[in-house]
Amino acid sequence: MSRTKIKFCGLTRVEDVQHAAALGVDALGFVFCQQSPRCIDIEQAEKLLAVCPPFITRVGLFMNDQASTIKQIIKALDLDVLQFHGDESAEFCASFGYRYMKSIAMGGATDLARLDEYTQASALLLDGNEPGQPGGSGDAFDWHSTPQVLEQAIILAGGLDSHSVADAIKQARPYGVDVSSGIESAKGIKDKTKMIKFVNAVRLADGC
């Protein structure tokens, strides 16, 4: 069985980046979405990226931002992948010359037909939030509804923590899992113990 990839999202502190790296997390998400309480600016991101070691994918998260804003951020920072959480079109997502992930809101009235629009996406992130809401809500969705016939990698998000992630993996068999609020003591403040328990739960579910 392949190993489920792990992404920690919404990091705001240097020590949290260091703890995540020590745990062998595959990707770290840095939020530039103004609607999110985990939003950071370029100066903060520079400090966080400076302690991010090689072989960890650095993801910049945006939501309905102007192209000029995104270009300013990616010019200033060494990001690997862009993640879009809003109403961005496939053409817009691909226009920056980066690999990208597109978030699909699975809460509320979800239009699964949109999954077919983002054929160039490296991955589709299925989140429990409702359309128009930023990620990190902590809301789950029915993991049985996860599509199994898409070409893109599927990443699960929303309502995941050390208690629920094993069930999510067993039900949906995703490429990866993405967690934010499930490893926090407060919004944007990661909890070291919760981080450890989450990683251990994923490894246990994988049989590692």
How far is the C-alpha of 134 from the C-alpha of 98, rounded, in Å?
21
Q: Using alpha carbons, select from 90, 113, 85, 91 the residue that is nearest to residue 178.
A: 85
User: Angle at Cα 89 formed by Cα 83 and Cα 90, nearest 5°?
Assistant: 75
How many helices and strands in the chain, by DSSP H and E? 6, 10
Active site residues: 9, 127
Strands (DSSP E) found in 74-116: 81-84, 99-105
The helix or strand, by DSSP H or E, that contains position 67, with its residue range, turns out to be helix 67-76
First to last CA, the chain: 9
> 197 and 162 in contact (C-beta within 8 Å)?
yes
The distance from CA 127 to its chain's CA centroid, rounded to whole angstroms, is: 9
DSSP 8-class letter at 79: -
Structure-block tokens of residue 175: 């490429």
